[in-house]
Amino acid sequence: MSTRPPEGEGDADDRKRARVDGGDSEALPAGWEVRMSTSKNKPYYFCPATRKTTWERPTEPAPTKAADAGKNSENSQQVKVSHILAKHKDSRRPSSWRQDVITRSKEDALERIKAIRKDIASGSVEFADVARKESDCSSAKRGGDLGFFGRGAMQKPFEDASFALPVKGLSEPISTDSGIHIIYRVA
> For residue range 138-156, what is the model confidence (pLDDT) as tens digits?
999 999 999 999 888 899 9
Provide the pLDDT for residue 130.
Answer: 95
Residues 6+ apart with CB under 8 A from 67: none
88 is known as an active-site residue: no
95 is known as an active-site residue: no
> What mean pLDDT, rounded, does the chain reach?
81
Provide the pLDDT for residue 20.
Answer: 42
Q: Active-site residue among 83, 135, 138, 171?
A: 83
Q: Active-site residue among 78, 135, 162, 178?
A: 178
Provide the pLDDT for residue 77.
Answer: 86
Q: Using CA atoms, how far apart are residues 159 and 85, in angstroms rounded to an integer?
A: 14
Q: Give 92-116 as a 3 state SS string.
A: CCCCCCCCCCCCCCHHHHHHHHHHH
Provide the pLDDT for residue 48.
Answer: 80
Provide the pLDDT for residue 3.
Answer: 44
124 is known as an active-site residue: no
| Contacts of the segment 11-19: beta carbons below 8 A, 24+ positions apart | 11/93, 11/95, 11/96, 11/97, 11/137, 11/138, 12/138, 13/95, 13/138, 14/38, 14/39, 14/93, 15/39
Greatest Cα pair distance in the chain = 54
139 is known as an active-site residue: no
Q: Using CA atoms, how far apart are residues 35 and 32, in angstroms rounded to an integer?
A: 10
47 is known as an active-site residue: no
- The reported pTM is 0.61
pLDDT tens per residue across span 167-186? 999 999 999 999 999 999 99
Q: Active-site residue among 47, 137, 138, 162?
A: 137
pLDDT tens per residue across span 98-140? 889 999 999 999 999 999 999 999 999 999 999 999 999 999 9
